Structures are given as structure tokens and as C-alpha cells.
Amino acid sequence: MTKLKITLFTLTMLCFMQIYGQTSLISGKITDALGQPIPGISVKIKGTTIGASSDAKGIFSIKSANPATLVFSGIGYATKEFAYSGQSNITITLSEDQQNLNEIVVTALGVKRDKRNLTYSSQEVKGDQITQTKEPNLVNALAGKVSGVQITSSSGTPGSSSRIVIRGANSLYGNNEALMVIDGIPVNNDETGNLNTGPGTNRIADLDPNIIESINVLKGGAATALYGSDGAKGVIIITTKAGSLNKKPSISFSSSFSMEKPLLPEIQNKYSLGSNGVYFDGVNQKTSTSWGARMDTLKINGQPAQVYDQSDLFFKTGKTYTNTVAINGGGAYNSYFLSYTNFAQDGTVPTSSFDRNTVFGKFTTQIVKDLNVTFSLNYANTKNRRLPEGYALESPVWTIFSAPVSYNLQPSVNPDGSQRLYRFSRNNPYWVLDNISNTSVVNRFLPTFTADYKPLSWLTITERFGADVYVEQGKYTESLLSVSNPNGRIVNNNTNFRQYNNDLILNANKSFGDFNVEALLGNNLISTYSQNGYANGLGITIPGFNNIGSASTVKFTETSYLTRKMGFYLQSNIDYKKFIILSLTGRYDGTSVLAKDNRFYPYGSAATSFIFSNFFSKGLSEVMNFGKLRLSYSTVGNASIGPYSLLTPYESQTIRNTTFPYQGQSGFLISQVLSDPNLKNERINEFEVGLETGFFKNRLGIELTYFDKRTKNGIIPSVALAPSTGFNATSVNSAAMRNRGIEVLLNAKPISTQDFSWDLTINYSRIRNKVLSIYKDLKQVGNGFTFIFVNQPYGVIYGTRYARNAAGQLLTDNGGLPFAADEQGIIGDINPDWMGGIVNNFRYKQFTLSFSFDMKKGGDIQNNVDGYGYFYGTPKVTEDRGPRVVEGVNATTGLPNTVSVLGQAYYQRANSVLESVIQDGTYVKLRNVSLGYNVKPTWLQKTPFKTIGFQVTGRNLWIYAPHFTGGDPEVSSFGSSNGSQGIYSFSTPTSRSLDFSLKLTL
């Protein structure tokens, strides 16, 4: 027995030794296609229950017999098998698997939802797509990427505003721009900073694009109803970056430099200052027109005349520097992300600039089990220096675009210190650079605190508090001897803005058999305070001392307002067997700006979606793997009433030649516009139906949406009253307007391999707008540079038009020139027929290439650069100055016109008819091209760097605008307000740019 025991023991040990000898510790690293480590990937031995996962560096280790098959899998990545037979230094590269990844998007109130289950239209843009464009203003970075969204730049001046409108204008006179929300907190996006003419800065420009994780665009009322009346125009949900759990600190640094060249209108260079072919020297003979002698025959003091390219001499190459450093990391229960960015832009107009320094930090921690707290702080300091634009006499761009090529504008002053002027009434543009300044400095704080407590597995309680606080100091100075203000002018403008927002949210998610119910109940409180102090000083008593206290006359005004709003909201999502979803939303708001009887008002939405692909056969599913039909109806208020709009105020008066205050005595009279104390919010009712499909395992996705949106109770701030009432006008709730349209979104991945991939996105939108009524029998009202007409689109151009006969032929006078009709009429429509965009992203191994086009069909533009230029003789088209016979019919005889006229007479007549400068704004833009290279990770193994990347980006590299003669058809020279659209008028040109960037990660 003893010998038997010894023999069995020996055999057993040999077996164990044999098994042990065949067991190995397998280790390696898991990376994505760009070589970045992937944490949390599951590693299993096929056919066993043995498993492990990768750490924060993508490293894994697992014991297994040799040989063995390892299976690697993780959310968002294609499962991969690896045959192990003793290899060392294993590197596993996983490719993204869009086929099985349910896309999670951030929706209203910062709630994350599976896009598959959404019952409304939304579209997400990732943060890297934003930063890739190298746009200083994140609004411009969205151009051409989202269907149903129209974005319009105002100017090429650094820091200038951009307008963003979703699904067309909703209000005749209220704000039509989308609500901006950062990490669940609504923030201010007013346009501020300009103290003369031209655009200002929209305050979302204070936000650093480098800290954005994603942007989700919520379009219809069913998507935005939880935001109440503030969200009626659509909502831009901005989610900032956060730290990572279980990750050692990593430091990333990026630096970029770009050069900008202005996109200029074409100016003639063949004719001199003068009139009727006669040369004026601009010294002894002054004029504003360039209808003089031909430059190639003109001699001055016996020498051939020199041609001065005024635009080339004045505009310079703009330069932009951006440097960002960020730290990302975290432990088992907390994470952190810190970022600092310095952005410095020098504009193409000398002395113009925009500097932004931002500090951002986000910290998340688990205080106790089931209680997580997130705190973030975003601080921005921006400094903007700009010059007057547009019509202002002080605008240097106006003078440059209309200056003669025969006159040297430099030096800008005469020996006696007066300005050198070739004409009267406008400053020398180079004198403006040294003597006129418009600066603004903004300090802004955006703190956010969020606490999530989960007392039950199916219940989460969220408390979120946020603030938006900024102070802006603006100053405008105009030196002595200015043409417009010979005694000089100083303006000080200070704004204090504070907005506090608080949400308490209960979010429950529980399953009952085949039903899954998600319910959200919340309360919102928001308080907004603004104070503005404006001081206008005329008469500088000490040259060069720009202190308003030294001005001869100072007039100071102060305005302030405080508004509060309280809301209660409820949303329920009922999911039955993951194929039919019903979503109900309700909100009950109360606001301080309305009368007591109208102060509280309810609204809400009902939406459903049906995922019909759940019922497809296996064969059909292999072709069309996803199909969803959604339907929604919403009714929401539109916050279009400003504070104190129900009161009829007293105003300072000027009676005959006496302006109050006079000799220390104030004088006020009640306003001539009677306010309506019963005003209520506008209301928007919207119907939406959509179809979402996925083909070939989501390699091709198509989304179609139709919406019909109607505004009623639209506010008209001023309609005429009978003088017998004691007032001239009053405000009313009476207008109605409709927007309806279709949106198409196509996502495709035509090629997807380990080394090469191609992602394609195409979007298209067609929106039709119509004003249904204004007030009683009133058919038209003015709105800045455009007009509002019943049964016409919102924003038509109205003015002088050419006289024509019944057959539409142009009428001419006996002198052979066309002339204006007796009655004005509609001559243009600023709304495009359709808009679209194409975005391509290619990856080949370590190289990336992306380029995007966006396009707009139609949308008329009032080109005032040509309009005034027709009088001056400066547009390129005016080089054709020979005699011509205008094709038309003589108004007196009714016979075809045969009288010949000279070019100067023809174009100066055209200058008096607005129709002559209405141009079709159709364009196709190569918006962005970006080529990048990421250094292969294996090359960095013996360096301190984890990643090194290079990128070259071009913006506005090519523009095709067949009917527009200006530099860029995508401009609105006077800012982002409703009445400033569709006009191109001596604003700083937008630019074509080239950017070089480097990014490192330690």
C-alpha cells in the first residue's frame, strides 16, 4: 500500500507539473485604430469562464493554457479573437463597431438618453468636429453640419457675432436665436460690445471650443418643451469635457497658428478720381467719385500715374495664436479635468483684435455610496478692439472700398495736423486707425454645481445650480478733428449681468413586465438681472486725454431690469417591448414680466415612436436593420416679452430747440407708444413626423423629418392709433406666422477597415415661411432693413424698383435711362430656397483627412457696396464705361429705346434704384479642409509622449457665388438682430485662412 501511495502521488505531481508547464501569464496592450489605449475591454479565454479586463492604459494580463484563443470585446468596438501560442508583447487593435453601439445623446436638462428611443429630431456634433474647424466662435463651427439650422456671420472683425436660427424665424420682433445651454444651465448669448455701427459680439464667443465634449441640437417643441418658453426657438445643448476614473494624470498641450486673408469685393482699377472722364487731384479739386481719366493714359507731373490698390495697402494678413494645456485624470471615486486656453487674434483691419483667456475646471466625486457631486467653473476674460463699420462716417472700410486708385491716402494728416482728404464728409481711413477706438473688456464666470443621489436603484434625485455672471466695460473714443465729431467724443458703457438657475429633478426608471417607464419631475427657478450705465461725452478739452470727465458735455443714462421665472415640469417615457415609445411632457410656468392674470400658463407635448424593424425577418434585417417612425405635437410659449413691457413709461423730451435736462431741470412726458397691460407670451404649435432608418448594419443611415410650426399671439410692439387717443401707437398680441419644412440627414460609412475608413454625412433642409396676419387689416410693418408683409415670407426687401410696362419690359425716359417706378414694391426675399452640407472624414492608418462643403440656394442680398459704388464708380463692373443703349421701351413713345447713354449716367441712375443692388445669395463653400497625422504609438514608446499629432486646416478655401459680386455672400453687416439680415454693407471682410497645429499628450 505504501508503494502504491508513493506511485500515485508521484503520478499526480507529474500531472500537475505538466499542467503548470502548459499554463502561461498572457499580457499585452489594447489600442484603437489611432493607437490610443482602450480601458475596460473584456478579455476572456474562449470556452472557459476565465476573464479579465484592460486597465486605464489598455494593459491586460490573464493566465491561460498554451495554446488558447483570447476573445476581446467592449461597448463600441467589434469583438476580436486572437490565437495565442506563446507570443510576447501582444498588441491588440480593436476597430469601432457602429453596428451594435446604441448612441447615447444629451437631451433637455442634461438627461442622457438612447437616441434609438427618442421621439423627436435631434442631431449631435462631437467636440473634435468643433475644434477641427479652427473657428474662434463655436456657432460658426456648426455651419453646414446640422439640418434645419441657418448660421450667418456678421463680419470679419475678430470677435464679431454670428446668428443661429433653427427651423426659421418664430417671432416677428422677438429674439429668434436658439437658447444656449451649457451642462444643463441656460446661458446668455446677447450681442454686446459695439458702441458705434456694425455688429457686436455674441456672448457665446466667451466659451472656449476646446473644452466641448459634444453639442446636441434640439430642434422642435417636443424636444425643447422642458425648457419652457426660453426653449421655443430650439436649444443648443453644450456638454463640456470631464475627467476619467481610474486614470493617472495625463497632460495634453495643443498649439496652433493661423493666417487670414480677407475675401474682398472686386474694385475697378482703370479710372482715376474725377467726373465725366476728367481727372481730379483730390487736393485742389475734391470729389467722392472715380469717374475720371483712364489710368493707363493719365500722367501726373509728366509721369505715368501710379495705381494704388487701396484694399491691398490697407488690409493686412490676420494672425491667430491658440495655446491650450489640459490635465485629465482621476481615482476610483473621483475625476478631474482642468484646462487653460490663450486665444489671440489680430484682424485683417489694423488695430482690430480679439483676445480670450479661459480657465475651466470640472471635478466629480462620490461623497458616499449613491451620492455623486460635480462642480465646474468656467472663467473667461475677453478683450475686443474693433472699428466702426457699415454706414458710419467713421467707417474706414467704406472709404477704402470707395477710394480712388489714383490717390495716395498716406500720410493721413497734413503738415498743419488736419486730415488729408480727397473728398469731404468722410475720415481718412488711416487717420481712423490712430484716432478712433472701440474696445470692450468682459470678465465672465460660469459656475455649475450638480448633485445626484440615488436612494433607490430606480430613483435618482438631482440638484443642479448654475450661474452666469459677467461684467463688460466698453469704451469708444473719437479724437478731435474727426469729420463726424470735430470736437471729439468719448463713450463709456458698463454692463453688469447676473443670471441664476436652479433645478430640482426626480428621475425614476422602472420596468413592469413588458413596460419600461421613465418619469421625470422637476422644478426650475431662474432669476435674471442686468444693469447698464451709458455715458456720452462730447467735446474733448484736453487732446489725447480720453477721460470722459474732461468732456465738455456729458449725458448719462442708466437702465436696469430684474426678472424671475418659476416652472414645474413633468415628462414620462413609456416603452413597450422596446418597439413602441410614448413620451408626454408638460410644463407650467410663471413669469414676473406678465400681468397677474396672465402670469402662469401651461404647455406641453405628446410624442410617440414606433420601431418597426423589430418585426423584420432575418433576411430583411440584414439589409435594413433599423427602422423607426416618430410623431409629435407640441404647444409652447415663446418668451418674447421684455421686462416692464406692460408699462407706458415717461421719457426725456426735446421741445422745439430745448433738450431736457435744461439748465438743471429735467423734463419728461409720457411715451407716445401705449403699452398693453394684458400682453401675453406668443405661442408656437408644432407638428412633426419623422422616419429614421439604418441599412447594412448601420453602415448607411437616413433620417427624414417634416414639421409644420405655427406662431400665434405674435407681439407687434407698435401699431398706429388715432391721435385722439393721446397716443401715436400701441403694442398688440395679434400676429400669426407659419414655418414648415423638411429635413434630410444621411450618415454613411462606405469603407471601414482596420487601416482605412470613410465617413460621410449629408444634410439638406427646405423651409417655407409665411406671415399669416399682422393686426386687423394691417398689411405691412417695417423691421430694420427688411419688411414684414401679410402672405409673404418673413423678411422681404421692400423699396424702389424700376418702372416697367404691363409686359414687364424696362421703361426708359427720353434721355435713354431707366427710372424708378412711382410706387415701391417687394424686390427681394432673404430666405433661402434650401440649405445643405456635406462632410467627409477619411482615415488611413495614422493619417486623417476631412473636408466639408455647405451650400445655400437663393436668399437675396442687398449689396450696398455695389449700390453706393455705382455712384462712386468703384465696382469692377463700372470699368465698362462706354456708350450703351439700355434695352427697354421709351415711356413716352412706347417704342424700343434707341438713345445712347454713357456709363457714368447709367450707373449713377442705378444708384437711385434699390432693385439694382438686390443679388441672389446662392453659394457653395468649401468650408473646411483638414489634413492630420498622428505619430505611430510604437515610435513613442521610448519617449515621454503618449501621442503627438499634427494638423493643417484651411477655411473658406473656395467660394462659388455666381450671382453675388461681393467678397462673401454669408454675411449680415449689422449684426445678428432680426432686422439686420440680408444686407452686405461695408463690413470688415470675412477671411480665407490656413491653420497649423500641434498636439502633444504626456
What does the pLDDT read at residue 391? 83
Chain segment 155-189, per-residue pLDDT in tens: 999 999 999 999 999 999 999 999 999 999 999 99
Burial (CB count within 10 angstroms: exposed 0-12, middle 13-18, buried 19+), residue 991: buried
CA distances from 433 to 159, 293, 387, 479, 480 (A): 18, 30, 8, 11, 14
Whole-model pTM: value is: 0.88
What does the pLDDT read at residue 316? 97
Chain segment 398-423, per-residue pLDDT in tens: 999 999 999 999 999 999 989 999 99
pLDDT at 99 over 80: no
Identify the DSSP state of 901.
E
Chain segment 592-641, per-residue pLDDT in tens: 998 888 888 898 999 999 999 988 888 898 899 999 999 999 999 887 88
Q: What is the mean pLDDT of residues 664-669?
A: 84
Using CA atoms, how far apart are residues 829 and 252, in angstroms rounded to an integer? 48
Q: Give the three cell numbers for residue 226.
A: 422642458
- What H or E segment, with its residue span, contains residue 6? helix 2-21
pLDDT at 5 over 60: no
Whether 899 and 814 have beta carbons less than 8 Å apart is answered as yes
The residue written with cell numbers 434609438 in the block is: 116
**19 confidence band (pLDDT: 50, 70, 90):** very low
Burial (CB count within 10 angstroms: exposed 0-12, middle 13-18, buried 19+), residue 776: exposed
CA distances from 403 to 75, 289, 835 (A): 63, 8, 36
What does the pLDDT read at residue 3? 54
Chain segment 469-484, per-residue pLDDT in tens: 999 999 999 999 999 8
Among the ranges given (88-97, 338-347, 500-509, 917-926), the one the predictor scored with the smallest mean pLDDT: 88-97
What does the pLDDT read at residue 4? 47
The one-letter amino acid at 477: T
Chain segment 30-83, per-residue pLDDT in tens: 988 767 788 778 888 887 767 777 876 788 888 888 788 888 887 667 788 888
pLDDT at 1 over 60: no
Q: What is the mean pLDDT of residues 563-577?
A: 93
**CB atoms closer than 10 angstroms to residue 859:** 24
* Residue whose C-alpha is closest to residue 473's, from 487, 454, 494: 494
Using CA atoms, how far apart are residues 868 and 888, in angstroms rounded to an integer? 24
Using CA atoms, how far apart are residues 938 and 947, in angstroms rounded to an integer? 10
Whether 402 and 872 have beta carbons less than 8 Å apart is answered as yes
Chain segment 353-408, per-residue pLDDT in tens: 999 999 999 999 999 888 999 999 999 999 999 999 988 888 999 999 999 999 99
Q: What is the mean pLDDT of residues 909-933?
A: 95
The residue written with cell numbers 473646411 in the block is: 928
What does the pLDDT read at residue 21? 42
The residue written with cell numbers 465646474 in the block is: 376
In a 3-state reduction of DSSP, which class is residue 446?
strand
Using CA atoms, how far apart are residues 681 and 931, in angstroms rounded to an integer? 49
**8 confidence band (pLDDT: 50, 70, 90):** very low
What does the pLDDT read at residue 960? 96
What does the pLDDT read at residue 254? 95
Q: What is the mean pLDDT of residues 501-511?
A: 94
Using CA atoms, how far apart are residues 215 and 132, in angstroms rounded to an integer? 14
Q: List, in sequence order, the alpha helices (H) in 353-413.
A: 396-402
What does the pLDDT read at residue 20? 40
**CB atoms closer than 10 angstroms to residue 299:** 10
What does the pLDDT read at residue 13? 45
| Beta-ladder partners of 930 | 850, 953
Chain segment 694-747, per-residue pLDDT in tens: 999 889 999 999 999 999 999 998 888 888 888 999 999 999 999 999 999 999
Q: List, in sequence order, the alpha helices (H) in 219-275.
A: 221-224
**12 confidence band (pLDDT: 50, 70, 90):** very low
Percentage of the chain surpassing pLDDT 90? Answer: 70
Who contacts 387 (Cβ-Cβ below 8 Å, separation ≥6)?
157, 349, 351, 352, 394, 395, 396, 432, 433, 436, 437, 438, 988
Burial (CB count within 10 angstroms: exposed 0-12, middle 13-18, buried 19+), residue 667: middle
Strand 923-934 relative to strand 847-858, pairing: antiparallel
CA distances from 53 to 49, 79, 135 (A): 13, 14, 39
Mean pLDDT, all residues of the chain = 91
Chain segment 264-292, per-residue pLDDT in tens: 999 999 999 999 999 999 999 999 999 99
Percentage of the chain surpassing pLDDT 70? Answer: 97
Higher local confidence (pLDDT), 601 or 582 = 582
